[in-house]
Amino acid sequence: MGAGSEASDSDEKHGSNKLHDFVSVSAREIDTAAEFASGDQEVIDPAEALRIRRKIDYHVLPLMCVLYWIQFMDKTTLGSSAILGIREATHLTTNQYNWLGTIFYLSYLAFEFPQNLCLQRFPVGKWMSFNIFVWAVALCSHAACKNFAGLFVVRLILGMCEGSITAGFMIVSSMFYTRNEQTLRVGYWFLMNGTAQVISGFISFGTLHITTSSFEPWQWLMIITGTLTLITSVAFWFLFPDSPTNAWFLTPAERSIAVRRLKENQTGVENKHFKKEQMIEALTDPKTWLFALFSALDNVPNSLTNQRQIIVSSFGFSNLQTTLLGCVDGVIEIVTIWTGVAIAARIPNSRAYVGTIYMIPNLLGVFLINFLPWSNKVGLLFAQWTTGVGTTGFVIALSWLSNVTAGHTKRITVNAITLSAYCIGNAAGPFMWQAKYKPRNHIPWIIIGICYACCMALLLIIRYVLSTENKRRDAEPIDDTYDDVYMKRKGKDGVVEKVKVDKEFLDLTDIQNRDFRYVL
């Protein structure tokens, strides 16, 4: 198991020839869920498991959805503010505006690995709550900024704090849900990005009608969204659970069932001890870098977040029309993500295929934007909307990554690498949008099209690699290395007893556990 493992005295008594027989391990080495699920072989009643899953949904999903809506709305305030007067009020050049989009992701990148280490070391819910609070203060502070330097600082703080959210949600999703459930749940909280675009569009429309002598519309937008974020941070602190092993809304018996129903994942819940060997394995695992490359390329086009409303305005629409038309982007994202994850969850081993198919409209949209007459503003508008369909591929990839990675330290390392690549793509993207390419922006759109085509190929390559590995493991002899591992636990009568630890809760990586099969 590790340096802390030691053979039990019973090895000699039984005269076993297998070195792994009756190995005892410390609680530090294994998954926190082992205390709740190990040694309990009772079959879970499906109806009871379903009841507890619904209870988890009721208490966890709404908060996750609200926060993801809030964080995306906050992230897009820069794009919304562009047509509400922020560029004129703070005297931003095109290059400085692009840098405000980039510094957010460079900060996100710099703090991503430290954020993941903190998510492992500290209670997940509390750490996210702290970051949301700091983030809310930074967002409200936008309204006090008078120049590029001030906006640069607050955008840097936003990026630093947001590094905890998606990573934290990926960890929470794998803690509470089975593999198939994760695909749907990740889709549910990610599609809140679309909801945020709709709601922020209406908020932006409303702020355009606020006329005060001291505050401009863009400043009101920052204050309103910052206040909503502040309220969310307080709700998260008191209501969001850190783990199924200590969830306040579950009884001790329900916590045990909540953990045991996750055995099929073979990924456990969490382990607060950092394991260097798991980090090294993550760095040398080819699939880590395939997912990272996909994440980077798929998010170069995400620079459209801060450009969409500027582009729509350039088609000839007024500011009021542009703010309302931005809501359509959100509706498209909601519908496509919801249908995509539903199909991927319903059809076994279809993740790569669904993600690839949903990116085809993006390529079509890029083609139309480049070749439609500039006078056809309605056609150009619809073409741009079409490029939002492929977000589904990234959502599926996020849930897929959690499904195929085991070992808590390995998981946080892989998450950090993938989200760092996400930052690199997002940080590089804004620099495509140079003034010399306007109004058609042919160069940026061609780059976006190439990125989407590469992403489609990468999804299929990842599937091939994982499928090949599954076949290799099917041909291997049964591995019983971890079949007889025990821990010491104090029983109800106060007597210390030896309890068998199931392989699923030994905090093994997907490579160590040869029974692990990759979902496709």
8 A C-beta contact, residue 341 and residue 395: yes
Mean pLDDT score, 137-157 = 90
Query: Is pLDDT above 60 for 23?
Result: no
Tens-digit pLDDT profile for residues 208-262: 777 777 788 888 888 888 899 999 999 999 999 988 888 889 888 888 888 878 7
- In this prediction, residue 234 carries a pLDDT of 92
Query: Is pLDDT above 80 for 175?
Result: yes
- In this prediction, residue 132 carries a pLDDT of 92
CA distance 228 to 221: 11
From the centroid of its chain, how far is CA 229?
19
- In this prediction, residue 460 carries a pLDDT of 96
CA distance 41 to 195: 43
Query: Is pLDDT above 60 for 18?
Result: no
- In this prediction, residue 270 carries a pLDDT of 58
Tokens in use for 77?
């305030």
- Please state, rounded to an integer, the average pLDDT across all residues of the chain: 81
- In this prediction, residue 376 carries a pLDDT of 86
- In this prediction, residue 464 carries a pLDDT of 96
- In this prediction, residue 212 carries a pLDDT of 76
- In this prediction, residue 457 carries a pLDDT of 96
Handedness of CA 188, 190, 191, 196 (dihedral sign): positive
With a CB cutoff of 8 Å and minimum separation 6, the contacts of 405 are 267, 282, 411, 414, 509, 510
Backbone phi, then psi, for 24, in 5-degree steps? Answer: -105, 145
From the centroid of its chain, how far is CA 451?
20
CA distance 141 to 264: 46
CA distance 309 to 304: 9
- In this prediction, residue 1 carries a pLDDT of 46
Tens-digit pLDDT profile for residues 428-449: 887 787 778 887 888 888 999 9
- Side chain identity at 35, as an amino acid letter? E
Q: What is the dihedral of CA 485, 285, 122, 141, to 10 degrees?
A: -170
- In this prediction, residue 486 carries a pLDDT of 65
Tens-digit pLDDT profile for residues 48-68: 888 999 999 999 999 988 888
Which three-class secondary structure state does DSSP give residue 148? Answer: helix
Q: What's the chain's length in residues? A: 520
Which three-class secondary structure state does DSSP give residue 17? Answer: coil
Query: Is pLDDT above 80 for 476?
Result: yes
- In this prediction, residue 296 carries a pLDDT of 93
Tokens in use for 9?
């005295």
CA distances from 327 to 201, 310, 322, 384, 421 (A): 5, 14, 9, 13, 28
Query: Is pLDDT above 80 for 488?
Result: no
Backbone phi, then psi, for 172, in 5-degree steps? Answer: -60, -40
From the centroid of its chain, how far is CA 52?
24
Backbone phi, then psi, for 144, in 5-degree steps? Answer: -90, -5
Share of the chain above pLDDT 70, in %: 84
With a CB cutoff of 8 Å and minimum separation 6, the contacts of 45 are none
Please give the domain boundaries of the chain with CATH numbers for all domains.
44-267 (1.20.1250.20), 276-519 (1.20.1250.20)
Tokens in use for 351?
């993740």
CA distance 438 to 315: 11
CA distance 461 to 135: 38
Segment of 6-15, 105-114, 309-318 carrying the highest mean pLDDT:
105-114
Tens-digit pLDDT profile for residues 303-315: 776 666 777 777 7
CA distance 10 to 347: 47
- In this prediction, residue 455 carries a pLDDT of 95
Query: Is pLDDT above 80 for 151?
Result: yes
8 A C-beta contact, residue 381 and residue 325: yes
Tens-digit pLDDT profile for residues 357-394: 999 999 999 999 888 888 888 888 888 888 888 888 98
> Minimal CA–CA distance to 120: which of 174, 64, 194?
174
- Determine which helix (DSSP H) or strand (DSSP E) holds 69, and give its type and residue range: helix 46-75
- Which residue has 């794009």 as its token pair? 79
- In this prediction, residue 267 carries a pLDDT of 59
- In this prediction, residue 471 carries a pLDDT of 94
- In this prediction, residue 14 carries a pLDDT of 37
8 A C-beta contact, residue 366 and residue 449: yes
- In this prediction, residue 333 carries a pLDDT of 83
With a CB cutoff of 8 Å and minimum separation 6, the contacts of 103 are 152, 155, 156, 159
Mean pLDDT score, 127-131 = 92
- In this prediction, residue 491 carries a pLDDT of 60
Q: 28 or 197: which carries more pLDDT confidence?
A: 197
Q: 269 or 355: which carries more pLDDT confidence?
A: 355
Tens-digit pLDDT profile for residues 274-328: 788 999 999 999 999 999 999 999 988 877 766 667 777 777 777 677 777 777 8
Tokens in use for 58?
């009721």
- In this prediction, residue 36 carries a pLDDT of 54
- In this prediction, residue 8 carries a pLDDT of 38
pTM of the predicted model, to two decimals? 0.76
Mean pLDDT score, 62-87 = 80
